[in-house]
Structures are given as C-alpha cells and as structure tokens.
Amino acid sequence: MHVMAGVLVDGAGRILIAQRPPGKHLAGMWEFPGGKLEPGEAPLAALERELDEELGIAVDPLSFVDLIRVPWNYGERAMLLEAVVVRAWSGEPRALDAAAIAWRLPHDIDPAMLAPADRPILAALWLPEHYPITPADASVATASTLVRAALARGERLVQWRLPGVAQDDARAGAAALLPEVARFGAQLMLSRDIDGARQLGTGVQLSSVQLRELTERPLPLGQLVGASCHDPDELALASTLGCDFATLSPVDATQSHPDAPPLGWPRFAKWAENASLPVYALGGLGPADLAVAKMHAAQGVAGISAFCA
C-alpha cells in the first residue's frame, strides 16, 4: 500500500499534525495528513487530492519537496509511506477527516504521540544535514575544543567518540560540554556508552555489535538513538529497535578503515531508500559531499577529519 503524507510547514516553522479518529487503526494517535493512492493515481496527485479531502485546502505542487520514504509493516499490513514537505496552499486547514489538527514546532512534538510509521518523518524534519564525529585519537581537551568550534559554526548534532580515553574521563568531558550544547540547541551523542547517556540525558550512537545484541530501544523516546550500520540487515535491525537514525558506511575509502571496501553512491542510495529511518552517509565524506548525498537518499553527511579542520 502506497501512502502519501503531507508535511505542511507554515511561516513560523510549525508543522501540522492530525489525530486519527475513533474507529480507525491506531485511533487517537497523531500523524501527518494524507492517504493512500487510488488505482492508477500518481503519487503527487494523490497527495493533492488527500489534502483537499482531509483539510479542505488546495496545495501548490511547486512548493513540494521530497523528505523521506518509509517502508513500514503494521503486522501483516505492508506500506510505503512517502512524506513530502508542503509550504504553499490556499484555504485554512480544517479537521475534515481527523479528530483534531494542531500546529506544532518540530522539537515540541513528542514522538510517542505519533503513529510509529510517522516517527521517522519527524526525525527527518529536525535532524540536521551534518553529523560531525570527534577524532578517535583526540584527548578530552582537544575533542572539547573541536565540539565548541563545531557548535559555533552551526553544527547541531555531534558524536562524542573517544575510544582511547577512559570511560569516566570521557563522560566527565561530555558532562562539562552539555551546558554549551544546550545553549546552542544542539544534541551530543555518546559513542557506545548507553549507561553514560542515561546518566547525562544525552543521545547514544550504537555500534553494529550493540545493535545485534540489544532486544529493545536502550533510551526513552526523546533521547536520540543512532546506529552505526554497514548493510541492509543492520539498517533493518536499527529500525526494529526503534533507533531515530543510522549512519551507513563506508561510502568512500577512509583513512581509518583502508581495508573496508567502499559502498559507492548507487549501493548507498538503494539501501538508504529501503531503510525505515533517516540515514547519514559516512566514510571519506565531508560537508562538500552534502549535495551528492542528498541526491542519493541521505539525510546528510557524517564524518571525522573533514569536519574537524
């Protein structure tokens, strides 16, 4: 079942969500308005029709921007949920087919209130395009300086990865940075340290080994969980576990893992398009690769050396 979802964004940056009415599957939960394609109907035409029927508005297709495609299974019901950002329409949205509608800033929406298939859409809305990672050989002092520089230049999601530093020292360094991270409205992700993330209230980036060992999401919704993936099976595990996003690597050859065969962009795009969560391209990449990455279904680019100059 192919379903289109419209992410209406107003001039204040708020997005519209709709509550599913009584008697429907997942009644009471919130979602992005839209609906399934009719036989022979083109996806964007279906979105126009659905938003007219559900909200009473006429949307401008010239304002459409593809956001994310989410393959999803509700039990035995398989669907492809395709989300499109809509920035121009005529008419005032009304709850014609929903219990209620509401305008909310993306960061003010609790993911738990959304239908599960709609949560990756919310993540794709507020996750940034860059995901810098601290160098593996950095000290706490050096990594702290790099994080502060990243925040100052506009980065809003940073992975705190210090494998050569004692865990307690790495946690203390992260704790010292958190007031500045919060002041910039950013997120710090602890690499592999689930207990540290719980203690500090940060996010965590899971290794592929952790991904295969865990049986449930390690942090509550609202605390970001990322997953380091290298193939479609790991991407599927990340989705099943309820991770908010993944990195997929290596796209290109890297200095840190010179023996790992690169995926290349065509394979990356194929795997990312079939994933059910936002995916960052990682491996030999930097900010200059963002446009290419976005053309190949990436949320954005992640990297180490190219982000730490």
CATH number of the structural domain spanning residue 154: 3.20.20.70
Q: Which two structure tokens, joined as six digits, stand for 215?
A: 């049986």
Provide the pLDDT for residue 305: 86
Q: Which two structure tokens, joined as six digits, stand for 26?
A: 């997942």
Is 136 found in the same domain as 119?
no
Provide the pLDDT for residue 299: 98
Is 206 found in the same domain as 184?
yes
Is 145 found in the same domain as 287?
yes
Is 154 found in the same domain as 90?
no
3-state SS assignment for residue 250: coil
Q: Which two structure tokens, joined as six digits, stand for 71?
A: 């393959």
Domain boundary among 78, 98, 126: 126
Provide the pLDDT for residue 256: 65
Domain boundary among 96, 126, 156: 126
The conformation of residue 119, written as its DSSP 8-state character, comes to: H
Domain boundary among 126, 158, 189: 126
Is 174 found in the same domain as 80?
no
Q: Which two structure tokens, joined as six digits, stand for 291?
A: 């446009």
Provide the pLDDT for residue 208: 96
Provide the pLDDT for residue 49: 97
Which class for 194: exposed (0-12), middle (13-18), buried (19 or more C-beta within 10 A)? middle
The conformation of residue 136, written as its DSSP 8-state character, comes to: T
Is 138 found in the same domain as 102?
no
Number of domains in the chain: 2
Provide the pLDDT for residue 278: 98
Is 234 found in the same domain as 155?
yes
Is 211 found in the same domain as 110?
no
Provide the pLDDT for residue 25: 87
**What is the domain range of residue 151?**
130-307
Task: Indicate yes or no: pTM above 0.85.
Answer: yes
CATH number at residue 95: 3.90.79.10
Residue 251 to residue 257: CA distance in whole angstroms: 12
Is 28 found in the same domain as 14?
yes
Residue 5 to residue 24: CA distance in whole angstroms: 17
Is 67 found in the same domain as 48?
yes
pLDDT < 50 stretches in the chain? none
Is 265 found in the same domain as 231?
yes
Which H helix or E strand runs over 17? strand 15-19
Is 136 found in the same domain as 32?
no
